[in-house]
Structure 1
């Protein structure tokens, strides 16, 4: 049996947002007298929500500033959401091909829900996502499976018939916890070793490989 639905992570999977995230957090850190980080460091900071991002970015011993840094980050990021962020190469074509096969699709991110919806609407225009959610009050973040199981129920598909695509251990753990087919991608924030070790059924290195992996998945 083939996949009936596929849910995608956003940052590091569909869109390359690392530069804007790093710029916004470094702005917030410097604004509060704290040292900035090199952009590649943010590959390890992101993935578990904005509060965790701020906690990781603030140096040890200055944790009391994390709340202020977070507020400054959010305000700056909202104004600079599209400065450098773009869809990864081949993503729009891959999504279009998948939709053409009748696979229903959704997006689930640990980024704030409002930012997720803005990014999807502008950077992935015309993609027929049926459900798009970010972090929402009262709904546990990934890797807790509550949100993605709710999305499957909303689409009236069994979790076993769903794929979950992402670029971090958090995404693969989400897939496992939900009983979904986990597919990792290596163009985002983490490497293939992390993805395999946390339960990826297959790992793709290009959008074409991802499309093939989703087309040929057997559940």
Structure 2
């Protein structure tokens, strides 16, 4: 049984793709580059803003000016179209009621990560919220996940990582944590490689509580 939980943000707690894509498209247009259909951004997100801009600009080489524009535009856009996934707030409430300490770990820059969590989930008593900072390696490096486990006061094998992508699954594996892949996120096919697969937020709280350390190498499925 898990004693704590870490959550990815984009594609796990929040459906944020439209705001990410809209801000990135505007940054591209401002620099004479073609925009993308918003659905294409599923393939660009999850590994940090530098990778996002690199993928969105391809085959044109990365340009720091486009990244700078995106970092300016995204905070202005990020609350316009983003919404929590239906059922997520109830799942978080159930986990808090069960006494599990919770934290967020995202590859999104730290400032917008904190702002989004506060805006959408300000009533949840998060023990920690961690976005990417330049001095700490991004997921799937386990450094931040392990630091959060220490902050929550649990061993990694007793803390489950909930996410929607292969990056999240790899982070959990690298940290020695069981993982739950969610079926409603940006990359549900990648989520199926997790220790457990959760098809809907309505069963997430029960699955988090049932997650076992043996699932770091095994696999379970929510019913």
What TM-score, normalized by structure 2, do the two folds share?
0.93
Question: Could you tell me which of 41, 61, 64 is aligned with 1:63?
Answer: 61
Q: Indicate the residue corresponding to 1:32 in structure 2.
A: 31
Give me the whole-angstrom Cα distance separating, in 2, the residues matched to 1:215 and 1:3.
5
Q: Indicate the residue corresponding to 1:19 in structure 2.
A: 18
State the 1:195 CA deviation.
2.4
Give me the whole-angstrom Cα distance separating, in 1, the residues matched to 2:197 and 2:37.
27
| Match runs of 1:132-171 below 5 Å | 132-171=129-168
State the 1:203 CA deviation.
1.0
State the 1:78 CA deviation.
1.3
Question: Could you tell me which of 74, 78, 95 is aligned with 2:71?
Answer: 74
Alignment deviations for residues 90-139 of structure 1 (CA, whole Å, 9 cap, x no partner): 11110000010011100000000000000000101210110100001210
Where does structure 2 lack aligned partners over 5 or more consecutive residues? 214-223
Question: Could you tell me which of 202, 208, 213 is aligned with 1:214?
Answer: 208
Question: Could you tell me which of 182, 186, 199 is aligned with 1:185?
Answer: 182
State the 1:155 CA deviation.
1.9
Where in structure 1 do 4 or more consecutive aligned residues deviate above 3 Å?
none
Where does structure 1 lack aligned partners over 5 or more consecutive residues? none
State the 1:204 CA deviation.
1.1
Give me the whole-angstrom Cα distance separating, in 1, the residues matched to 2:186 and 2:51.
16
Give me the whole-angstrom Cα distance separating, in 2, the residues matched to 1:108 and 1:21.
18
State the 1:210 CA deviation.
1.6
> 1:111 aligns to what SS in structure 2?
strand
Question: Could you tell me which of 105, 109, 114 is aligned with 1:108?
Answer: 105
Give me the whole-angstrom Cα distance separating, in 1, the residues matched to 2:129 and 2:111.
10
Alignment deviations for residues 43-91 of structure 1 (CA, whole Å, 9 cap, x no partner): 010000000000000021x215x21111111111111120111111011
The RMSD of aligned alpha carbons is 1.0
Alignment deviations for residues 171-219 of structure 1 (CA, whole Å, 9 cap, x no partner): 0000000011100002111023x2234xx01111210122221122223
Does residue 92 (structure 1) correspond to residue 89 (structure 2)? The answer is yes
What TM-score, normalized by structure 1, do the two folds share?
0.95
Give me the whole-angstrom Cα distance separating, in 2, the residues matched to 1:217 and 1:166.
14
